[in-house]
Chains A and B, each alone.
Chain A
């Protein structure tokens, strides 16, 4: 699937090479391949279309600087546009509360529990915080055990209340416990839920209202396809979340969902997950993501070779 991408772009870029100015004619073929690349990378089809239109407008009529080949100019245009779309500076996490409360949200299996642990560990070791993990998933079999195992692995305390089936009450009790025991960050793990599950979406809205978190994070699997926009929008409509966490980027997915989500909710992607282990967390770099989505590493080297 992805193997022939660079080959195709090579061909498309070949059309541009040797022309002094980017015109309607020589830009069309390249943009078709860029669009195709975006779709193969799971960028939402509407956003892919908008994107290529924007790039086209920016490209048309541009004189090719003496130092640059047209192909290189196009590559630069596409990459810059994508990087810009994906967010400017690296954004950290708001820790202004006392304690600061971080609420996790997302679909089933996206990586919320794992990321809760990673974040706690990161804040503990890199920011010398004293975090508390709170287990508010009362549905998934062994969800509470999972968080306890994670907490043990990283040496962070976990608050849970196994008899309690009300996540709102547990989250409040967790924050109260944190205050009483000198924890300055509280990370609330919640159950996975579908955006179309009204009851469950109400539940997380209620948790959100009850605890008023400094930071609400939407955790999403980087392998997500076209549906990413629907889900992100639905969660954002309910929670107006502060940031996105992109998980499982240690795979070979191009991760086009990142642009789709950014375009549709305009919230920063704050961290990425790059493995199952507790230290597999990294801040998000828009330019790297842009390169990944387009397989730019290949393209840039191709142009340089040409």
Chain B
């Protein structure tokens, strides 16, 4: 909440005492957006959009700025986000529906899996987790605790075992037990490590031996406090694994998560979820209108 108020506060300051959008306001706005990790390119894109509107409408009062800005940002997100989703759903025609969760180290993959599993279970789905992070110290124990909290089974092997083999076991078990949703955890990996990125392709390939066309969803988790490097993460993970959706975590802090606007725009990948805490309930379905509104509400 603090995040959004301060953004709005700054925006208000940017337009304070001005009756129309002039260069000064746009300069200040640029600062506000850059300071929110939106990035220079995307910021310039947004500003250009606003300038175009100002040129077209001749006069734009600061009152209207919020509205225009809201539209501009929503437009960048709109191609990939329907924006109407309010519930945690999975397509009905795919069973089991397999989600593989990927991302760099420490962004919140395992925690997001726990929260997501909880939501799916609440919807009545039969969920199973796969402990595909066989590398990090106690990663398996961590996922086990989440599975226990949610009350669902977990398929795991020893630390150091082959993640592809764990994924294979998990999907086999899911098929045998008629599960609806499978969520596979993976070890954190930096996107510039080619071997580790290739490992993800291998995990996917092995899954396809059990259930064709899986994983159905590759969820890339981004830390909301990450800066411009998130672009490179999106780029490299997309290359290695055909990322189909994004989750942005840690938005309960002061970080703005603005980088996601540019990523969603550039890679045409929808943001599906946002993490807003460490508790089991602290996951929300991303709603672009709420996201954009949260920037400008709170007058």
Contact = CB atoms under 8 A, between A and B. Distances in A.
Interface of A: 1-2, 36, 39-42, 44-46, 107-111, 113, 139-143, 145-150, 153, 194-196, 221, 223-228, 230-231, 248, 250-254, 256-257, 276
A224 B227 contact: yes
Contacts of B259: 225
A227 B34 contact: no
Contact of A139 (B34, B231, B278): B278
A225 B37 CA distance: 6
B107 A109 contact: yes
B37 A110 contact: no
Interface SS of chain A: loop
Contacts of B188: 276
Q: How large is the interface on B (under 10, 10 to 19, 20 to 34, 35 or more residues)?
A: 35 or more
A40 B228 contact: yes
Given A36-B40, A221-B106, A150 B229 contact: no
A195 B255 CA distance: 11
3 closest residue pairs by CB, A with B: A225-B227, A109-B106, A42-B227
Given A107-B253, A248-B105, A223 B223 contact: yes
Contact of A225 (B31, B228, B232): B228
Contacts of B250: 107-109, 194
A196 B253 CA distance: 6
Contacts of B35: 44-46, 226
Interface stretch (B64-72, B135-143, B169-177): B135-143
11 contacts: A1-B232, A42-B37, A108-B250, A142-B138, A142-B139, A142-B142, A225-B37, A226-B34, A227-B225, A253-B229, A276-B188
B146 interface: yes
Given A223-B227, A225-B259, A253-B229, A149 B192 contact: no
Interface of B: 2, 31, 34-37, 39-41, 104-108, 114, 135-139, 141-142, 144-146, 159, 188, 190-193, 223, 225-232, 250, 252-256, 259, 278
A110 B229 CA distance: 15
Contacts of A149: 137-138, 159
Given A108-B250, A226-B34, 14 more contacts: A1-B41, A1-B228, A39-B40, A108-B106, A109-B108, A110-B106, A142-B139, A146-B137, A146-B141, A194-B252, A226-B35, A227-B253, A251-B104, A252-B191
